Chain A
Amino acid sequence: SQQGEEDPQALSIQEGENATMNCSYKTSINNLQWYRQNSGRGLVHLILIRSNEREKHSGRLRVTLDTSKKSSSLLITASRAADTASYFCATQVDYKLSFGAGTTVTVRA
């Protein structure tokens, strides 16, 4: 069963704009991870945030985690055409990594 649910399902933005997507989950977790999937390819890990962390940055990515609300957000700043992809949040409890349905992001040139 899917633990995380992303919102929105789809997002279309202009190059240079910021993209924000959210993830909500149901149970306590060890960590939350974000992955990117380009069409027809495997998933690529972007960032991992542990349950005792509130915010993490990696390049143009910013992730927040609010364990009291059981939610996370991924912000991509200054988007590029190459950021066009599906983005998935994944919650980890022990070894089990459970994925949401994903947000499809289209960056228009």
Chain B
Amino acid sequence: DAGVIQSPRHEVTEMGQEVTLRCKPISGHNSLFWYRQTMMRGLELLIYFNNNVPIDDSGMPEDRFSAKMPNASFSTLKIQPSEPRDSAVYFCASSRGQSNTEAFFGQGTRLTVV
């Protein structure tokens, strides 16, 4: 298995632009997480999907952030409009089951908003 695949690996965009981050979870995993990592705040859970349904989006910082999971093999995280404070590394992770299982992380997308 190729693991969790994220794209792009790096994204530089101007303030106000729309940014879309993509994730392909491991086949057979039914839980998907989006995390954001910054030096100041560490790893923050943004949203959790189970069986393609958003279960917990309490970590999504603002209405500018939205996430979808149209099917079991694809998820997107969109920021519109982007702001410099959104600069961070965004990770997608998937796991088999809801609890007591390990999470497999993608390589992350490093987002820079200038």
Contact = CB atoms under 8 A, between A and B. Distances in A.
A82 interface: no
Contacts of B56: 95-96
Contact of A94 (B42, B99, B105): B99
B99 A92 contact: yes
A94 B103 CA distance: 13
A2 B42 contact: yes
Contacts, number: 54
Interface string A70-109: 0000000000000000001000101111111110000000
Q: Which DSSP category, helix, strand, loop or mixed, fits chain A's interface? A: strand
Interface residues of A, number: 23
A31 interface: yes
Interface of A: 2, 30-31, 33, 35, 41-45, 48, 50, 88, 92, 94-102
Given A41-B107, A43-B93, A92-B99, 16 more contacts: A30-B100, A35-B105, A42-B91, A42-B105, A43-B43, A43-B103, A43-B105, A45-B103, A48-B101, A88-B43, A92-B100, A94-B99, A95-B50, A95-B55, A97-B45, A99-B35
